[in-house]
Structure 1
Amino acid sequence: MATTGENIRRYRKAHGLSAARLGEMVGLTESAILHYERGIRTPGESQLEKIAHALDVSPRMLEDHKIESARDLVGALLQLEDEFGLVPDMCDGGLWIDPKAKNAQKTVEAIGAWGEIRHRLITGEITQEEYNAWKRKF
């Protein structure tokens, strides 16, 4: 997974913005943006929200989720089990939603929407860029 700074840089470049221009858009200096991108400084919550808005992404897309290994991934999945009922299926190695979990219905709906947009990508109804734009909203 990428750091917050790496994510800022990736989305900034994807939008064709210089660090100076992004800084202007959010009321920061070019130096501040470059410090964030290099990991020298970490943006505060309000700064991260402004940067995310300027880059047309969800602030969560810029965060460092610290998933760097399979062990980290399992830790994240265990959190998802507790909150959303995402559990492993021993038969096929896949995942399924425990319908008794408190957020099961919302989870099923959200994953269903993801499945639909992925299907549209695979069938060529939308482009990779349109799919990536959809993902950035999260």
Structure 2
Amino acid sequence: MGFAQNLKRMRAARGLSQADLADAIGVSEITMRKYEAAERYPKDQTIDMLAAELEVSREALVSDCADTVDEAVQALFDIEERFGIKPIKLDGMVVIAMPEDAAAPEQESLSRAMRAWYRSRRDLEDDEITESEYFAWKDSFKA
């Protein structure tokens, strides 16, 4: 999912119209429509204003997910090298694991983030939070 799709989903999840969000950050409604239609890409300062208004991280707003299996696997390889994750087999499943007592501060931060993700995902599966609440948590998450 790219910027345009993220923007549209996050705006709608907060119950804002395109006009509301455009007014809040000082652009025209037509410009906002073009952002959501991927016809125009905002400047960095505008992205920061959008993220602040939507109460999400800049990274969540601009993130673009891998579109193919090859891209996803390459992303996992990159994360393996940078943060020390690795695939392991657990209860008949292949899962991504990371030492809980990570040595580098970046690894510790990722380890905390993965634990928070696990708890939020578990809460969703246990019907303790709604799917909308889960997406809002993901959108606003900062490690």
TM-score (norm 2): 0.82
**Partner of residue 129, structure 2:** 126
Q: Percent identity?
A: 31
Higher relative contact order (CA 8 A, sep 6+): 2
Q: Provide the aligned length of Structure 1 versus Structure 2.
A: 137
Gaps of 5+ in 1: none
> Are residues 119 and 95 of structure 1, via their aligned partners in 2, closer, same or farther at CA, if it must alter by over 3 Å?
same
More moved, 55-64 vs 122-131: 122-131
Q: Give the Å deviation of 1:20.
A: 1.5
- Residues 41-120 of structure 1 mapped to structure 2, 5 A cutoff: 41-89=40-88, 92-97=93-98, 102=104, 103-120=106-123
TM-score (norm 1): 0.85
- Deviating above 4 A after TM superposition, structure 1's stretches of 4 or more consecutive aligned residues are 98-101
Determine if the alignment matches structure 1 residue 3 to structure 2 residue 2. Answer: yes
Provide the secondary structure at the position in 2 that maps to 1:65: coil
**Partner of residue 13, structure 2:** 14
Q: Give the Å deviation of 1:24.
A: 0.4
> Are residues 105 and 68 of structure 1, via their aligned partners in 2, closer, same or farther at CA, if it must alter by over 3 Å?
same
Gaps of 5+ in 2: none
Distance in 1 between residues matched to 2:121 and 2:87, nearest whole Å = 21
